[in-house]
C-alpha cells in the first residue's frame, strides 16, 4: 500500500459522542428533570440520526446539516422522555451539545504523529462548522475539513468518500478511511479506498461498540495510537 492520506469517521471513532451528549443533557435538563439519565437521552437522540439523513441520501431533501437534523430529532426525544416547556435557548444549547464532544484520550497526540506522514481530514457526516468546533475543542490538526458538507450528501453514499479523495488530489487507493464502524469501511472499500478499523468496544457503554471489524479491512487497530504505530508514525 502507498497511502498518502487518512480520512476519519468522527462520532465514536475519534470523539466520545455518548459521554459528551450525556454530560450536556444531564446538565441542561437538571433544572426541569433531574431524574433523566443523560446516557439514555443521548442514545435515544442518536437513534434518530440515521433515519433523519435518509431523505437527503435519497435526494428527496436538499442538503441539510446535522444541527438542523439534531434540532428536528430533539423534539421527538423530548416527547419520548416526557419533557415539556423547554425554552428555545435551552433547546439550542442541547443541539450545541454535539459541538462539545471530547476526543478519546489518545486521539490528539496520535493525530499529531500521523500528520508527519499523511494528509489528514475528517470524512464525517458532521458539517464544516461542527467539525471546526470539534477541532478547536480537541486540537485536531486537520489539513482540511472534508466529508458530508463538502459532497453535500451523507455517508455511506459513494460521493462522500470519492469527493474527499479528489480534494486531496489522490486516487482512492492512496487514501485510507479510518473508522470504528464496519459499515463505514465497507462503503469506503467499495469506492476503492484502503480501510483501517479502530476498536471502540465501549462506544456508548460497555460492550456496545465494535471490538473488531466484521468484514475484511487493511488494518485493524486497538486504538489510534496503535494505528500510528502500525503505519510507522
Kindly indicate which of the ranges 31-39, 50-58, 69-77, 137-145 contains the residues binding a copy of itself, using the contact rule CB under 8 A.
137-145
Kindly indicate which of the ranges 16-24, 121-129, 188-196, 219-227 contains the residues binding a copy of itself, using the contact rule CB under 8 A.
121-129
The footprint of a copy of itself on residues 173-202 (CB under 8 A) is none
Cell of 82: 416526557
Least distance (Å) between residue 158 CB and a copy of itself: 17
* Contact with a copy of itself (CB under 8 A) among 74, 77, 97, 119: 119
Q: If you search the block for the grid coordinates 463538502, which residue do you land on? A: 150
Q: Per CB under 8 A, does 129 bind a copy of itself?
A: yes
Q: Per CB under 8 A, does 61 bind a copy of itself?
A: no
Least distance (Å) between residue 66 CB and a copy of itself: 11
Q: Per CB under 8 A, does 72 bind a copy of itself?
A: no
Strands of 119-124's sheet, edge to edge?
A: 146-147, 119-124, 5-8, 175-179, 194-198, 219-221
Least distance (Å) between residue 149 CB and a copy of itself: 6
Q: Per CB under 8 A, does 27 bind a copy of itself?
A: no
* Contact with a copy of itself (CB under 8 A) among 14, 69, 94, 168: 168
Q: Per CB under 8 A, does 67 bind a copy of itself?
A: yes
Nearer to a copy of itself, 167 or 176 (CB): 167
Task: Using CB under 8 A, count the residues that bind a copy of itself.
Answer: 18
Q: Per CB under 8 A, does 146 bind a copy of itself?
A: yes
Nearer to a copy of itself, 164 or 220 (CB): 164
Written in H, E and C, the secondary structure of the chain is CCCCEEEECCECCCECHHHHHHHHHHHHHCCCCCCCCHHHHHHHHHHCHHHHHHHHHCCCCCCCCHHHHHHHHHHHHHHHCCCCCCCHHHHHHHHHHHHCCCECCCHHHHHHHHCCCCEEEEEECCCHHHHHHHHHHHCCCCCCCEEHHHHCCCCCCHHHHHHHHHHCCCCHHHEEEEECCHHHHHHHHHCCCEEEEECCCCECECCCCCCCCCCCCCEEECCHHHHHHHCCC
* Interface with a copy of itself (CB under 8 A): 67, 119, 127-129, 131-132, 135-136, 143-146, 149-150, 167-169
Amino acid at each position: 500500500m502507498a497511502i498518502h492520506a487518512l480520512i476519519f469517521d468522527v462520532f465514536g471513532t475519534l470523539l466520545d459522542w455518548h459521554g459528551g451528549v450525556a454530560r450536556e443533557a444531564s446538565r441542561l435538563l437538571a433544572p426541569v428533570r433531574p431524574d433523566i439519565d443523560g446516557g439514555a437521552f443521548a442514545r435515544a437522540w442518536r437513534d434518530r440520526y440515521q433515519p433523519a439523513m435518509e431523505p437527503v441520501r435519497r435526494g428527496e431533501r436538499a442538503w441539510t446539516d446535522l444541527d438542523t437534523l439534531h434540532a428536528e430529532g430533539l423534539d421527538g426525544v423530548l416527547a419520548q422522555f416526557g419533557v415539556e416547556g423547554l425554552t428555545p435557548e435551552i433547546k439550542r444549547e442541547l443541539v450545541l451539545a454535539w459541538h462539545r464532544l471530547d476526543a478519546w484520550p489518545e486521539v490528539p497526540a496520535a493525530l499529531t504523529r500521523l500528520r508527519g506522514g499523511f494528509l489528514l481530514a475528517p470524512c464525517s457526516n458532521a458539517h464544516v462548522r461542527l467539525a471546526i468546533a470539534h477541532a478547536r475543542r480537541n486540537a485536531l490538526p486537520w489539513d482540511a475539513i472534508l466529508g458530508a458538507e463538502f459532497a453535500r450528501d451523507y455517508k455511506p453514499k459513494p460521493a462522500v468518500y470519492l469527493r474527499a479523495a479528489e480534494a486531496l488530489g489522490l486516487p482512492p487507493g492512496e487514501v485510507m478511511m479510518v473508522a470504528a464502524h464496519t459499515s463505514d469501511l465497507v462503503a469506503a472499500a467499495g469506492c476503492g479506498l484502503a480501510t483501517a478499523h479502530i476498536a471502540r468496544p465501549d462506544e456508548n457503554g460497555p460492550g456496545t461498540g465494535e471490538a473488531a471489524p466484521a468484514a475484511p479491512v487493511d488494518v485493524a487497530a486497538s486504538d489510534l495510537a496503535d494505528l500510528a504505530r502500525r503505519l510507522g508514525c
